[in-house]
Amino acid sequence: MRLLLHTCCGPCSVYPVKQLRESGYDVTGYFFNPNIHPYREFKHRLETLHEYAAQVKLELVTDSNYALEDFLLRALSFKGDRCRPCYEQRLRQTARYARNNAFSCFSTTLLVSPYQKHELIKEAASIIAEEEGIPFEYIDFRVGWQEGVTVSKEMGLYRQPYCGCIFSEKERYYKAGRGRS
């Protein structure tokens, strides 16, 4: 089974790639994350992913299209949780690439993080799979989160301190009322 694995970053790939390979999948990583801000952070995460992929001999497809404007338009115009259009943008592109390049199915490393909206990812990916005509392989990778953290540190991989978008960067560093006037 050829599986296209949407990869948000190197550290989050550690456990899913290992688990999928042990289950017999032929895994290819697919990087498409225009939500990441700023561009230097995007580049840093992509470089880290290449570093990881080289160490474990993971084939990687990289979409270097940094569609930040598209992501921001979707996030700002969406009435509701901005993570939904963020997941949808990334997973739809992954599903289309998988379908057009003879993969059997697709999945995502986003399913490993206890900090992501797991049920929302699962729901969005299932709808996209139906619409795009390619199976979504749902696996709850969260059981391997800690193992992924440990191994990624042993491998010396950069671990980012926020989810990725400019909004999550603000939420991490900005404290209302504590700015300088």
What is the number of H-type helices and E-type strands within the chain? 7, 4
Residues of span 102-141 touching ligand SF4 by CB under 6 A: none
Letter string b/e over residues 53-83, b meaning 16 or more CB atoms within 10 A of that residue's CB: beeeebebbeeeebbbeebbebbeeeeeebb
Q: Which is nearer to ligand SF4, 155 or 158 (CB)?
A: 158
* Terminal-to-terminal C-alpha distance of the chain: 58
String marking each residue 28-57 x if it binds ligand SF4 according to CB under 6 A: -------x----------------------
Stretch that binds ligand SF4, among 12-20, 45-53, 138-146, 163-171 (CB under 6 A): 163-171
Which of 1, 2, 4 has its CA nearest to residue 91? Answer: 4
Applying CB under 6 A, which of residues 6, 45, 74, 82 lies at the interface with ligand SF4?
82
Stretch that binds ligand SF4, among 14-22, 40-48, 78-86, 141-149 (CB under 6 A): 78-86
With beta carbons less than 8 A apart as the criterion, state whether 19 and 139 touch: yes
Give the residues lining the site for ligand SF4 (CB under 6 A): 35, 75, 82-83, 86, 163-165, 167-168
